[in-house]
Structure 1
Amino acid sequence: MMNQLSSLWNYVKLFGCVIRIKLGFAKPSALIKFLLNPNWEIRWDAADFLDNLPDKAVITPVFNILQQESNQVVVKHLIYVLQSNKAWDELFLCLDSAEYYVRSYAASVLSYSGETRFVESLLKKMCEYGDNEYIYHDNIYFSALRGIVDKSSVRLIYDYLPNATPPMKKNLLELLGHSKDEQVFGYLLDALKDPNAEVREGTVLGLMHLGNLQAIPHLRELLNDPFKDIQDNVKMALHELENVTLQT
């Protein structure tokens, strides 16, 4: 009974604080203390309110609290708070967190940031691991990269391709497509003929994301590829590109 009363009182204080903020009698930073509440639901609601009340003053305390937070739901909402305040540098630092879910949430948010200044560092991080480590880490950096690469990123991607292992090369080729630079089209067509299945798979996905309709006949040639994953990706790519053809 006492715990229920305590929880109810905490909610009364939380909602009272939100009302004062919306009336202009307090700043969003007044909610920070609720992020330290032992009740994770209070912390969750406080973070949710902060997400809708952007204020640069909360960036540092939210980032510091995030380092200690163990509840994944609360972590996700704290990351959303950083996103709503465009705290891209802090989110980039989250990619080095020891917790996979922190890295994953941060990468997902960064993919919408448009911050191409991170491309070089992310490519370096993505390609610095051996194959075993790479399989564990690549989705984090790749997830962020595919949303922020553009034409200015192509040269950097090309720099890593010659020495990339097949798993790395697969993602690099897909990133070329995400760049939307038509000048990579010929390179991707050549890569379709690579003997390595992972390389061909990444190339198919790269051509799909590039969106050049001239790729359609070349992709059809891979419908009988010996690897089912490639066949499935070719079908998906053709579906995407042929839908564009129908719409135009």
Structure 2
Amino acid sequence: MSVRPPKPPRQEHWDRLMEIPLAVASLVYLAGYAVRILADHHLSQGWLDLCLAVTLVAWAVFGVDYAVRLRLSGQGPLRFLRTHLLDTVVLILPLLRPVRMANLYYRLQGRRNAPRFSLYGRVMVYAGLSASLLGFAGALTVYRYERDAPGATIVTFGDSVWWTCATLATVGYGDVTPVTPMGRLVAVGMMACGLALLGAVTGSFSSWLIQVFTREDERDDVQRPPGDSPGAS
């Protein structure tokens, strides 16, 4: 397993400088993609071309950021790819980029020395935001490829959202299912993400409960008079 080396000071400065612009570009990309999918029958070709141009510009911002960080890292392309695998995947699949925004709020809070959630709270909130963003992006993609496919059961965006929720929750009712290769490929990714996010939330919640019960037991032991142990007659 490759270990990411410490960031050079110039790269850290660049990362801080680009936090907000990349977050804005992520939202713009997602909004442009969503408009092209959901309103393609209601907008003129000029507006659709504008949405496409907006998404391409946002994607170009991601590419420039990746290239600059590669340059500032001082690593070769192959080593940088190995140590920044997630960043490379996000560059290739820019619909996943909004997920990287989920921890922006916590980084900004930490920089301002503002109070933050506990570790368990951050994990659960991050998992919830990630699931919401992934679900929306996945629903858009599946709807795009499924709505006009022969024999499709996902013919409206509502069907796609319902299928996405069932898949992320690992329920899988089977009333609507993707029939296209791209739709099924997205389904595999959604299943993997759903299992990972559900495991993270469940594990964090269980750890939080154990911590709470342990503190209560310790507090009861401190407050209990000497010799008054449980079960003592």
TM-score normalised by length of structure 1: 0.28
TM-score normalised by length of structure 2: 0.30
Q: Greater relative contact order (Cα 8 A, min sep 6): structure 1 or 2?
A: 2
